[in-house]
Structure formats: structure tokens, C-alpha cells
Amino acid sequence: MKTMVGAMLVSFFIGAAFLAAVNVNLPDVTALKDTRMQVPLRVYTRDGKLMAQYGTKRRIPVALKQVPPSLVKAVLAVEDARYYEHPGVDFIGLARAAKAVIVSGRKVQGASTITMQVARNFFLSRKKTYWRKIREIMLALKIDRELSKDKVLELYLNKVYFGSRAYGVAAAAQVYYGEKVGQLTLAQMAMLAGLPQAPSRNNPLVNPVSALKRRNHVLDRMLEVGFITAAERDAAIKAPVTAAYHRQKITFHAPYVAELVRQVMVADFGQAAYDDGYKVKTTIDSRLQTQAQLQLESGLIAYSQRHGYRGPIAQWGPYDPANQDRWQTKLADLPQHNLLQTAAVTQVDEKSITVLPSQGGPQKIAWSGLQWAAPAQDDGKVGAPPSQASDIVAPGDVVYIKQASDGHWQLSQAPKVQGSLVSLNPQDGSVLSLVGGYDYSLSKFNRVTQALRQPGSCFKPFVYSAALAKGFTLASIINDAPVVMHDSGENELWRPTNDNLKFYGPTRLGVGLAQSRNLVSIRLLQDITIPYAIQYVSRFGFDPASLPKSLSLALGSASVRPMQLAGGFSVFANGGYRVVPHYIQSITDERQRAIYTAHFGQACEDCVTQPAAAEASVDRAPPVITPQNAYIMTQAMQNVIRSGTGRAAKVLKRDDLAGKTGTTNKQVDAWFAGFNSHVATVVWVGFDDLHSLHEYGSKAALPIWIHYMREALKGTPLATMPLPPAIVTTKIDPVSGLLARPEQKNAV
């Protein structure tokens, strides 16, 4: 007897010592009070539209009070009906599981309470061993002592995996039903509650039969434990399986902007950027971004069509109506574009064709939607215009089509040319819209922030501004005459010309800029000297080390990014202040705490007319040119639109617009940069492989700018900088540029 008692005491002390040792080595469960879920990075427009989500797990954390009571009961019924009664471990259930192990002789996992699952999910591996089970039990008891029941249940509902990359009940509701968790029916709640035990086997998307059985089992359990009535159970069991995969609702697409944000977040936060629930609010205006994407894509398609039809993208042979479904499936697998849809030609008549689009029924394209398609030639020209539809396409041709504004369909083609558009608020540098290329799915290269291209004549305003600062005026005379010099950086003579190969003799600076006279710009740079000009234009944000030390600088031979150019033109637009282009407005963490708010200097409009206001100005951006210089240059660039190379923009019928066209050597790059005091927009068009566009900036880029600015400025008042003090307007002799004589009739 004494031996038995002694053995029992030894066993007790050994067991107690073992449990004490286990308990000492358990992790600190108080960390669960401030636990952080793996929540994806989300990027929004400034008006709150979701434009992107990054992260491997879909999770939408919710408080327990946001989860419908019926969903909580469904989970408890099937996972842990005695949850609010036991101390974290259901010893009755454990005894039942232990008996099953003894009877079967196999290790089985049973009687896991919700608290034990929380312990496993947060602290332990999923490997099934007795040692892990013991630690799980001890952890569950510890968690139950340290945390409230509601807190543990909230952790479980947000942590548990529901299949299809959905973690937590809110994400599961969105993934399977496209709804918020509070909008689910009882049958849908039961379906979700049945998933955690076997999220693959019971997944309604891949195994609806098994999922239905599991759902009904959950409903039976809810009735059994008294959570629902028999009538509620019967009605829910009759409900059909309505689960379907719902992607995250990206309400707005701006992939070039979203990728910029992702890169910044990863650079600053590392892998945590994807998991710590950051929300980034950008400066992007969704309305303007929509217009930027639409007008750039439309403009590039229009350019492509001006240079002829390149032919079909495939040829599938004669069409048989019996093959309609198969053809449409094949069409849908081809690269798609926002404004273009793939289609197959099924019938060719004399002046029209019938096509089968990738979506919908057959469509007829009239001659008005075909006649543009003269054959493209290698030199940018087009061949003879077609006289009938068979000159253009044949049955079985696979083509692109697009719908015109009047609803009619047109033959089209995907452009090879690229482009970019960036629009800023020049008062603070915030990016209103940004499109880095024709189609992000085809090319992720962001031509706004990554492409280094020559700006051509778009660079001239900065040289002219330098000349004004050195004493020149818009009335100063420069001879527009031929020059021959050793200056190009090459071992040969440089003979620059104007685009039209003409020379105009003595020319006022204002005229030289409006008409984009190359020789005037070169001689002007020669007068003010290259070192001075380089030092001066660096005020606009250009790196002096990257600027050529030659007179070709006057013609825009430097390499700049469109974002840099937009920032430079903002200086003219805002009265002389250098603002910082930026696209992130704020960043908050998972708990909605602000961890970053954009804080950049702003232009001071009052300082233009009241210099004393500068002393009281808060958060003022650095002034880099005088208000007088900015005003005169704005006036000069308004003349570019009124009477110069940008006069096509007069169609907007606004007197507050200023800008400059740009075309580089051999017409490789085409630009238009223009602004008023509230919007500064730069458009670039060109080929990535530096092919000639065979078009000037006024034809390739300016129309895109016009269409965008029409929408950007719709309903807004005229906005141009006020007249600063110390500016004199006087009449001059148009020939000499000097003060006009009294009563001189041709004075301007």
C-alpha cells in the first residue's frame, strides 16, 4: 500500500514538475492584446476610391461587435459550443478524444476549442504531436486567464483561414459572396462557419456537394444547441448554394500610380508593407485620372490610325457560325485593351464588314469606320486610300475594333507608339493624374518618372527666363539667321536650322518663343553664356550635371523626365516658387493612426502682389525666380497659344492658358507642356526605340493635352497669376525693339 501511495506521489510531483516546466517555456500571451493581423496594403485616390491592393492574404479586420450574432453562433455551434463555459480547454471533450485514441490506437486531433485554435494559430506549428498538444492546452488555459472571452473570439474570427486566400470572416464574406459580413443570410453564414475545419475539402467554389453537406451540418448543430429554431433551420437548408469567387473590389484603376506607391512603401517598410495594414491616400483626383487615361489612349490610337493600317493580328480562315463560341473564346484570350476589343471578320461587303467581337453578338462596321485604313508604310507615310472593304480586310481576319462616341463601331489597331501624361497642382506640387504609358498590362515602364527624353523646344522657356533675369525683355531683338559652328560635341560642323528651314532675320524674343525659332534661342543662349544658363535653369529642378555644356541646350538636347518638366513649368504657373511633385498624401496604419502626412512647401499667391506677405507666409515653397519673371514668361507662353505653335489650344476658349510645344531632332519626341495657375500638364508622345514620329508636338501631343484640359478645367474660373508690381507696359518699335517714337503708327 505504501509503495502504491509513494508511486502516486512521485507520479504527481513528476507531473507537476513537468507541467511547471512546460508553463515556464510558454510564450507571453499578453502580446495577443495588441496583436497585428496580416492585412494587405491598400492604395486609394484622394477621394477615397480603392485603386490597388497588395499582399498575399486577403483580410479585413473587424471588431466582434461588427460580426452578426448569427454568424458567431454558427461558428460556436460547429467549433466550440461550450466556449463561454470552459476555461479555454473543454476537459469533457478532451476525455472523449483520449478515449478515442485508446480505442483506435492512433493519434487523432479532437476537442480543440476556439481558444486552443488561437493558441495554435498564433504561437505553435500545425504538426500533430503529443508535445504540441500539451503546449496547446497549457497555452489555451493561460490565454483564457489573461484575455476576455470576447477578445479571444474576435482574434479567432479575424485569424482563421476560410480558403481561397481569405483570412477572417469579413474577407471570407467578400470573397465568397461579395458582401460585407453584416449582409449575409443565415445559409451563407453557416457555409462560412463550416469552412475552417477543412477549407479545401468543404470549399463551395471547388466542391459544392461537400460544402452543402457541411453547411447543413452546421445548421443542424445550431438547432441542436438551441441557437436557431426549426423553422429557421428548414428555411436555410432549402437555400441554394450562392457562393462565387469575388475579386477585391478595385473601384478605380490607376496602375502606374499604384506601382509608384508600392515601390515607395516597400522601400520604407520592407516586407511589412504588404502585411501591416497600411492605407495610402494619394493625391490623385479620380475624375482627372480617368480623363488622363482616356485621352492619352485615344490620342495614341488616333496617331496610329493617322499612319496607316498595319493589317490583321491573325487570320483564322472562313467563318462558320457553328464555331462562334469557340472563336469568341479564342478572341477573349488575345491581349485586350481598355478602348479596343478583339474581333474576327465574318463577312466583307463592298463598303462594310461584319465582325464577331470577343463579347456580344455580331456587329456591322460601315464605310465611315473603315475608310481611314490606308496601308501603313515604313517611312510613316500611308499608301493609296482604299476604295472598298476588301482592300482592307478579308474574312477570318482577327482585328481590333473600338466604339465611337456616337455608338458606332470602327476598325482600329493597337498602337506601337507610347506616351505619358502627368498633371500637377502647381500651387503645392500634388499630382492630380499620372499615366506612364499606353497600357500597363503591356508595359510596366513608367514614362513619367523613368523615361529620360529630350524635351526639344519645351526647354526654351527656361532659357528665355534666364535671359530675362539677365536684362533682356520680350522686345529684345535677336537675329534669326544661319549659324555654323563647332559646338555639337561632335567632330563636325553644326548647322542648326528652324523646322521649316526658313530664316526670319531680326526677331523679338516674344515672337521667337511663340514661333519656336531655333536660331533665336541659340543666339540668345550664346549671349547669356552657357554656364550662366545651366546655373539658372537648375532653379527649376533640373540637375546641372545632366545638362549639355553646349549651345544645343537651347534646343532642348538635355534628357529630362516628364515629371521634372511638369515641376519646372509649375514654377511659371505659381509665380516663381519651386514646389515638390508628390503623389502620396497620407499613410495610416491598421488602427487608422496617421504615420505620414505630406508636408511640402506651397506657393504664396498673395506674395506676388504683396511682397511683405512673404514674412507671414507659413509652409512657403522656396522662391526661385521673381514674380515679374514668372509673369512675363507666362504672358509669352500665352502668346504661344494665341498666335504661335500651340494655337490649336484656342479651341478651349480660355484666356488663362499658357504653354509650349516641343519636338526633338528627327521628330523622335513630341511634347506639349501647358498650364494655368491651378493645373500644369505635360504630355509626351514617342517610341521607346527612338523611331521617328514623323509628326510635330503640335500634332502628336497637343491634341491629347487639349482634350484632357477641356475636362480638367470644365466649370472652373479663369486662373492666372496676378500682375506683380514693378512691371511696365509700353509701346515699342516692332523693328528695333526700342521705345516707339511719339505717334508712331506701327508701334506695338
Active site residues: 79, 457
**279-282/41-44 β-pairing:** parallel
Selection from 149, 122, 148 nearest residue 135 by Cα: 122
Compute φ and ψ for 293, nearest 5 degrees. -65, -45
Give yes or no for a contact between 613 and 725, defined as CB atoms under 8 angstroms apart: no
Give the contacts of 692 (CB within 8 A, at least 6 positions apart): 380, 666, 667, 668
How do beta strands 397-403 and 314-315 pair? antiparallel
Residue type, 322: A
Give the list of residues 6+ apart from residue 539 with CB closer than 8 angstroms, or none.
Answer: 571, 578, 624, 625
Give CA–CA dist 263/260, Å, rounded. Answer: 5
Other beta carbons less than 10 A from residue 360's beta carbon: 10
Cα gap 442→435, rounded to integer Å: 13
Length of the chain: 748
CA 407/CA 423 separation, integer angstroms = 30
Pairwise CA distance, residues 58 & 393, whole Å? 47
Strand runs (DSSP E) across 277-408, as ranges?
279-282, 314-315, 341-348, 352-357, 363-366, 397-403
Contact 308, 413 (CB under 8 A): no
* 562-573 vs 460-469: helix crossing angle, rounded to 10: 40
Residues of the chain by 3-state class (helix, strand, coil), percent to 5: 40, 15, 45
Interhelix angle 114-123/149-159, nearest 10 degrees: 60
The answer for residues whose C-beta is within 8 angstroms of residue 215's C-beta and 6 or more apart is 187, 190, 191, 194, 204, 241
Phi/psi for 595 (5° steps) reads -115, -10
Q: Where are the strands (E) in 574-657, listed by range?
A: 584-588, 594-597
Neighbours of 641 (CB within 10 A): 24
Cα-based torsion angle of the residue sequence 106, 112, 116, 121 in order, rounded to the nearest 10 degrees: 80
Instruction: Enumerate residues 6+ apart whose C-beta is below 8 A from 629.
Output: 465, 468, 469, 576
Give me the residue label for grid cell 507666362.
634
Provide the residue type at 566 as one letter.
A
Residue whose entry in the numeric block shows the C-alpha cell 461558428? 75
